[in-house]
Amino acid sequence: MARPPRTLTDEEFAEFVHASWPGLYRTAYLMLGDHQLAEDLVQTSLAKTYASWRQVKEPAAAPAYARVVLANTAASWFRRRGWRNEHPTEHLPDSGTDHDLTTRTAVVDALATLAPRQRAVVVLRYYDDLSVREVAQALGISEGTVKSQTSDALARLRDVLSDEAASVSVPTVDPVAVVGNGRRIQRDRRVRVAAAVSAVVAVVVVIVAAVAAPGGDRADEIPPTHTGESKDWAVASGSTVQLGSGSVIDLDDGPVGYLFSTSAGLLVNYGKDGAPWSGSSRWTVIAPDGSTSDFTLDVGDQLTDTDPSQPYVVYVEATGSPTAWDVVVRDLRTNEVTDTIRVDGSFSWADDGGVPDAFVDRDHVYLSLDETAVDVDLTTRQVSPIDTLPAKTPLTVDGGLTILFSGDLDAHAEVVDIDTGEALMDYDQGDRYLQLSPDGQHVAALPRRSCSDVDACTFDLPTAFVYDLTTDKRVEIDVEGSSTGWTLDGDLVRVTKDDVSVCDADGGGCSSTPLQVGADNPVVADTVNW
């Protein structure tokens, strides 16, 4: 049975805004240390909550959902290039003066209330970003001591910062303005574009993927927009991986098969003998600075998935029952399973049988079963049927959107908002196929590719069209002799035998970096290169 859409009056949402505003504002202020940015963050988060109210299963869950939206929005602000807690002001501060120094002094004072070892543990864990094991080795104490000292220190800091939060002056809120912004977000998603499309499966040798930080939500954001060339890409050929940050990594145990973007780094699947299907493949996580960390993942020939905003890899395991499956969430930072969520439903439509594939988008996992598609919320652990995604069909999910095909030979394609079911873009089949950007801001109409066993795969047409899904703006980008992918903030990546170019999806201009890996038959991310 499909999940019914929720109904919500503006008056009810206004009551929710009034009730949740003070707590959300104090949280935002402690996170950002700036009153104006805190107000902007809460306004933006509540507008996004209004626009995506369908995801709130019960009214009692609304405060928690809004807090998750606020945290995710803040995290996306931090990840934006150039973000340094800066915002416009009439007068420039004196050189070398930090903004809002009183807040930073309060944080330093709070740390000063900790015992010396507790303070060292907190700084090493949360400023230097060391693991529990690395902190224990650095301080010469046991891992258990690190955990207990961390728990005690955080409890102390929570008390101190609670006092700080209680003293924060909370501004008033205008619920009408919040609802208006939420409606604008919904309205901006309604775009109709006609173009030609053709779905094609390509053979892989070079993989383009995003590496550093993920892009933000599709709604408007307050911090400065990015400028200049994005470095959020990676290319692999053979056993060599090149990062946009400049690092080149050689993996000496066979060719690269997949590149997965995560907030913990680039998850790489590689190995010999046709891995991953032979079961002999290896895994490693590559940080943006090029350092590697081997990762143990025994999934046989089961496909896995990740999301750029999450430090997890997700896959599905059989339970012994043909109508029950376990969605497994494994933390890439610790190599530990952090959650296992049971999903009920039969799965028999795939040619190879096996278990359902997991399709991850932000904090949701989607499975397509025999009777319905299901939405697994990793935050609430709730499993719900979802009628905006099809059953018995491989899914394409990025940035809260999906592409649905219909008609003979998939003659018609629609870009659909998963939350609302609205079709944002309509395509009639032709000589191009659609590819969503990871952040859901853009979609590319890419030419069909022709491949042979001898020659490299090439596009049949010299140009691609990239559409902004919020403005209906289209740019034309030269893709002749290249392979394409995306950066995480929605710029097109173009790989040729000589260089890797990042092309502005809004303006079409490209900037290039010399290709430092093999150039045999480059193609797009998330397919295999043998």
Low-confidence ranges of the chain (pLDDT < 50): 1-6, 79-103, 187, 189-228, 273-278, 522-530
Spatial CA neighbour of 32 closest among 20, 43, 47: 43
Is the previous residue joined to 356 through a cis bond, with omega within 30 degrees of 0? no
User: How many Cβ atoms from other residues are within 10 Å of residue 521's Cβ?
Assistant: 21
| Residue-wise pLDDT tens digits, 407-436 | 776 678 899 989 888 888 888 767 888 889
What is the distance between the alpha carbons of residues 284 and 259, in angstroms, rounded to a whole number?
10
Spatial CA neighbour of 483 closest among 456, 445, 510: 456
Can you give the pLDDT at residue 456? 60
Can you give the pLDDT at residue 65? 82
What is the distance between the alpha carbons of residues 82 and 18, in angstroms, rounded to a whole number?
33
Find all residues with CB under 8 Å of 513, minimum gap 6, and list them. 229, 244, 499, 500, 501, 502
Can you give the pLDDT at residue 178? 72
Can you give the pLDDT at residue 356? 92
| Residue-wise pLDDT tens digits, 66-111 | 887 876 776 566 544 344 444 433 333 343 334 444 445 556 567 6
Can you give the pLDDT at residue 167? 66
Can you give the pLDDT at residue 529? 35
What is the distance between the alpha carbons of residues 37 and 33, in angstroms, rounded to a whole number?
8
DSSP codes of every residue in 3-70: PPPP---HHHHHHHHHHHHHHHHHHHHHHHS-HHHHHHHHHHHHHHHHHTGGG--SGGGHHHHHHHHH
Tell me which amino acid residue 495 is.
V
Can you give the pLDDT at residue 29? 74
Can you give the pLDDT at residue 181? 66
| Residue-wise pLDDT tens digits, 308-367 | 888 899 999 999 899 999 999 999 988 899 999 999 999 998 766 689 999 999 889 999
Tell me which amino acid residue 310 is.
Q
Q: Residue 139 in 3-state DSSP?
A: helix
User: Looking at the DSSP assignment, which residues form a beta bridge with residue 519?
Assistant: none
User: How many Cβ atoms from other residues are within 10 Å of residue 387's Cβ?
Assistant: 14
Can you give the pLDDT at residue 375? 95
Can you give the pLDDT at residue 163? 66
What is the percentage of the chain residues whose pLDDT exceeds 70?
69
Query: Which residue pairs, CB below 8 angstroms and at least 24 apart, start in 224-228?
Result: 224/80, 224/82, 224/83, 224/86, 225/80, 226/80, 226/81, 226/82, 226/489, 227/81, 227/82, 228/81, 228/511
Cα-based angle 57, 392, 218 (whole degrees, multiple of 5): 45
Cα-based angle 474, 74, 147 (whole degrees, multiple of 5): 140
What is the distance between the alpha carbons of residues 168 and 342, in angstroms, rounded to a whole number?
42
Burial 7-41 (b: 16+ CB within 10 A, else e): eeeeeebbebbeebbeebbbbbbbbbbbbebbbbb
Tell me which amino acid residue 69 is.
V
Region of 211 (left: φ > 0; alpha: ψ -120 to 50; beta: rest) is alpha
Spatial CA neighbour of 436 closest among 395, 476, 471: 395
Tell me which amino acid residue 302 is.
Q
Sign of dihedral through CA atoms 245, 246, 252, 257? positive
Tokens of 207: 């993989």
What is the distance between the alpha carbons of residues 423 and 426, in angstroms, rounded to a whole number?
7
